[in-house]
């Protein structure tokens, strides 16, 4: 903001004994009146520069003026010197100016060299301090001979000025800790949070930014780009030799350096066949060892567990790289696009998705947005921050768009956020993150707060694999292996019925424990609702309410049911309102189409297994594991079943051992190298 203070913040004065003009452009001559000199001295204090103020060195004068500038809301730089050490009187005069002084010269465009489209902060500000060397009283010292503090631009608030480059510093101790964290494989975001906790600071109050940390790490890098390329490609080639079904694709630039590289595993491609309807593409992390942005594709399986789908390392986060990444992913997944995709707020990625995945619904990950709240609102809201955050979550989870719009306006008014730019940005993008605008699209529950925490924890586990960069890609496969069969078995055995309804027992035999627990919650709640038949459907409302409710449509011959709350469309699990209507119309089993395959115990239908002619050994092994899991579940329901299954499996095991142990030829999935528009196959 423009300073409203009077006195020294708006004065401009010069020592009449110094004939140098205060102009920052060309030197000239000027004479100041004695009255003006006295005025400057009358307004002076120990914290404000004044004519005649003396310093032992020009560096001490610079430090003093820099501290003054920081308090006022700007920073300074050394502008011009007169005289030269070793010639005549040596250095005789120095100018320190506002960091926005002067104007950026217009560069002549070059066809061979791309121009950086970066806005300059310089606006011709005339604020300055001039010091001159004097030896009148013996030893040489420096005296203030000119000072002006009238700015033609807004001054920054105290909580903003610290972000100016001049005041962002990393101490030697902090540098050592950053290097130590980097060697441990900790991401830059995690480093910042750890140091904030160590120093007892609020998020965003370190004297340096994430960009400063990345620049520091860049200067400490020990591997050259060419060596990194060799390491990453060697990793992929080694894995390809061990597992022919591993697939990777990469691009090199004109200097034969690795620009982008993406990879996926056979199990990931198989998982995508069933669980690729809703995916997360997280591009907010960097692989510290190689200082490259890291993109992670994640889905949710039928047990509610995150599953890795693919990874990509990019040289830059721009439209070209994101477009390449999306094409590589679609290539891995045989051209099958997801129904929905969740990402961070990145305009380049948003444009790339619009071009490469035109039929996919794009939305923003709520946990990536919430992670930025402390830096956006902590200082603005102060003690009301937690109160505001609770209100935000309430609005986020609403069903009605109209209720959201009204609630948002009330929230902005209540917390005085009319001119807050992050709030304005959130509102302008509400179609991409607020649940009232997304409930018509399937997200497998990933857009809810609880599930997003699970995915975020999974990604953090993934990032821990970069401790040893030379084995990174192999470690990823181990770090994200969520086939915890013991946990699944325990969950299967812990299923208990609560309502006694035929629909509940029927669903329990089909759905995984994760999905069944979600459906069971709705079945329990359905008993608290009343249904009223209308001409075009049913009105369902809580038994304690006299108005409101949800509209449920039921088409009996086709077994089609839908509710205005759109929970099934959003999560694939029927809501309490629809279940109440099914009970009303004497439906004792949930219609087949409302028990989606992706939420059932067997991730791939048995028919597909029998008809499959693939030679993918890993895929067939996983299918067998899935069937064994179901076999154990069904057998454990009674002693008779258990005895029968044990005898049959013993016979089957004996017959299996009679067959050869040699593996069939695996399906060759070649990796591809992209250079310009040419695709090279590496067999």
Name the pTM for this structure: 0.60
> H-type helices in 334-398, by residue range?
347-356, 366-370, 373-381, 385-396
Q: Is residue 545 part of a domain?
A: yes
Question: How many structural domains is the chain composed of?
Answer: 5
Q: Where residue 481 falls among pLDDT bands split at 50, 70, 90?
A: low
Q: Is residue 612 part of a domain?
A: no
Q: Are residues 236 and 342 in the same domain?
A: yes
Q: Are residues 82 and 190 in the same domain?
A: no
Q: Is residue 654 part of a domain?
A: no
Residue 537 CA to residue 440 CA, distance in Å, equals: 20
Q: Is residue 638 part of a domain?
A: no
240-290 pLDDT, tens digit each: 888 888 899 998 887 777 889 999 988 899 999 999 999 999 998 887 667
Please tell me the predicted confidence (pLDDT) of residue 573: 95
Tell me which of 184, 204, 221 is where a domain ends.
Answer: 221
pLDDT, average across residues 161-181? 83
Q: Are residues 327 and 302 in the same domain?
A: yes
Q: In the chain, how long is the greatest CA-to-CA distance?
A: 112
Q: Cα 337–342–344 angle (5° rounding)? A: 130
Q: Are residues 398 and 499 in the same domain?
A: no
Q: Is residue 652 part of a domain?
A: no
105-114, 196-205, 614-623: least confident range: 614-623
Tell me which of 360, 394, 418 is where a domain ends.
Answer: 360
pLDDT, average across residues 415-426? 94
Please tell me the predicted confidence (pLDDT) of residue 221: 58
Q: Is residue 569 part of a domain?
A: yes
Residue 530 CA to residue 147 CA, distance in Å, equals: 79
Q: Are residues 377 and 331 in the same domain?
A: no
Which of 547, 540, 510 is CA-nearest to residue 525?
Answer: 540
Residue 304 CA to residue 487 CA, distance in Å, equals: 12
Q: Are residues 497 and 549 in the same domain?
A: yes
100-129 pLDDT, tens digit each: 888 877 666 655 555 555 666 788 898 999
Q: Is the pLDDT of residue 424 over 50?
A: yes
Q: Where residue 310 falls among pLDDT bands split at 50, 70, 90?
A: very high
Q: Is the pLDDT of residue 342 over 80?
A: yes
pLDDT, the chain, mean: 79
Q: Is residue 24 part of a domain?
A: no
Q: Are residues 347 and 425 in the same domain?
A: no
Q: Are residues 83 and 187 in the same domain?
A: no
Q: Is residue 532 part of a domain?
A: yes
Which of 151, 80, 159 is CA-nearest to residue 122?
Answer: 151
Show the domain range for 136: 53-102+121-162
Angle between helices 485-493 and 513-526 (to 10 degrees): 30
278-287 and 340-343 beta bridge pairing = parallel
Which of 539, 597, 161, 159 is CA-nearest to residue 382?
Answer: 159
The long-range contacts involving 469-478, CB below 8 angstroms and separated by at least 24 positions, are 469/185, 469/231, 469/287, 469/289, 469/290, 470/231, 470/235, 471/235, 472/235, 472/287, 472/289, 473/232, 473/235, 473/236, 473/239, 473/263, 473/311, 474/235, 474/238, 474/239, 476/308, 476/311, 477/265
Tell me which of 599, 628, 644 is where a domain ends.
Answer: 599
pLDDT, average across residues 600-613? 49
């Amino acid at each position: 903001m423009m300073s409203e203070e009077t006195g020294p913040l708006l004065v401009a004065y010069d020592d009449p004994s110094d004939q140098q003009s205060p102009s920052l452009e060309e030197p000239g001559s000027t004479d100041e009146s004695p009255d003006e000199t006295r005025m400057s001295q009358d307004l002076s204090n120990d914290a404000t520069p004044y004519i005649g103020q003396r310093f032992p060195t020009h560096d001490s004068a610079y430090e003093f003026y820099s501290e003054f500038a920081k308090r006022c809301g700007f920073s300074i730089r050394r502008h011009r010197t007169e005289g030269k050490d070793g010639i005549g009187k040596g250095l005789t005069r120095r100018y320190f100016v506002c960091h926005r002084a002067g104007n950026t010269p217009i560069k002549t465009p070059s066809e061979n060299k791309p121009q950086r489209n970066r806005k300059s902060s310089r606006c011709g500000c005339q604020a300055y301090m001039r010091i001159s060397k004097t030896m009148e009283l013996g030893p040489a010292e420096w005296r203030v001979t000119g000072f002006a503090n009238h700015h033609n631009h807004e001054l920054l608030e105290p909580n903003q000025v610290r972000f100016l480059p001049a005041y962002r510093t990393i101490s030697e101790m902090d540098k050592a800790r950053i290097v130590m964290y980097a060697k441990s494989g900790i991401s830059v975001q995690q480093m910042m949070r750890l140091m904030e906790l160590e120093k007892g600071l609020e998020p965003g109050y370190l004297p340096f930014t994430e960009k400063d940390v990345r620049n520091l790490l860049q200067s400490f890098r020990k591997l050259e780009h060419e060596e990194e390329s060799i390491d990453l490609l060697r990793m992929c080639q080694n894995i390809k030799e061990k597992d022919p079904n591993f697939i990777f694709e990469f691009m090199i630039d004109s200097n034969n350096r690795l620009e982008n590289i993406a990879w996926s595993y056979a199990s990931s491609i198989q998982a995508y066949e069933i669980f690729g309807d809703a995916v997360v593409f997280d591009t907010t992390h960097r692989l510290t060892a190689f200082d490259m942005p890291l993109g992670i594709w994640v889905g949710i399986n039928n047990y509610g567990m995150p599953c890795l789908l693919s990874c990509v390392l990019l040289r830059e986060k721009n439209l070209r790289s994101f477009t390449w990444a999306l094409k590589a992913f679609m290539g891995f997944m045989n051209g099958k696009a997801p129904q929905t995709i969740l990402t961070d707020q990145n305009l380049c990625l948003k444009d790339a998705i619009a071009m490469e995945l035109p039929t996919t619904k794009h939305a923003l990950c709520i946990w990536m947005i919430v992670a930025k709240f402390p830096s956006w609102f902590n200082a603005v809201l102060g003690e009301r921050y937690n109160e505001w955050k609770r209100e935000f979550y309430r609005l986020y989870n609403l069903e009605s768009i109209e209720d959201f719009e009204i609630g948002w306006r009330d929230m902005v008014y209540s917390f005085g956020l009319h001119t807050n730019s992050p709030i304005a940005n959130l509102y302008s993008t509400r179609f991409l993150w607020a649940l009232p605008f997304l409930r018509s699209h399937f997200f497998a529950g990933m857009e809810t707060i609880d599930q997003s925490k699970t995915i975020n924890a999974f990604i953090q586990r993934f990032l821990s694999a970069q401790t040893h960069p030379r084995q990174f890609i192999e470690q990823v496969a181990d770090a994200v292996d969520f086939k915890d069969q013991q946990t699944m078995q325990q969950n299967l055995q812990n299923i208990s019925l609560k309502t006694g309804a035929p629909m509940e027992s029927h669903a329990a035999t089909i759905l995984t424990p994760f999905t069944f627990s979600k459906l069971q919650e709705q079945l329990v709640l359905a008993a608290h609702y009343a249904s009223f038949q209308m001409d075009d459907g049913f009105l369902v409302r809580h038994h304690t309410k006299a108005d409101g409710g949800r509209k449920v449509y039921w088409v009996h011959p086709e077994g089609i049911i839908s509710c205005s709350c759109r929970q099934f469309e959003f999560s694939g699990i029927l809501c309490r309102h629809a279940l109440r209507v099914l009970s009303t119309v004497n439906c004792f089993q949930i219609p087949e189409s409302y028990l989606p395959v992706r939420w059932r115990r067997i991730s791939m239908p048995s028919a597909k297994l029998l008809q499959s002619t693939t030679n993918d050994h890993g895929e067939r092994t996983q299918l067998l594991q899935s069937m064994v899991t179901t076999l154990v579940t069904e057998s454990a329901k009674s002693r008779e079943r258990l005895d029968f299954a044990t005898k049959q499996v013993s016979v089957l095991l004996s017959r299996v051992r009679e067959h050869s142990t040699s593996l069939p030829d695996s399906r060759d999935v070649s990796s591809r190298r992209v250079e310009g528009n040419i695709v090279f196959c590496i067999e």
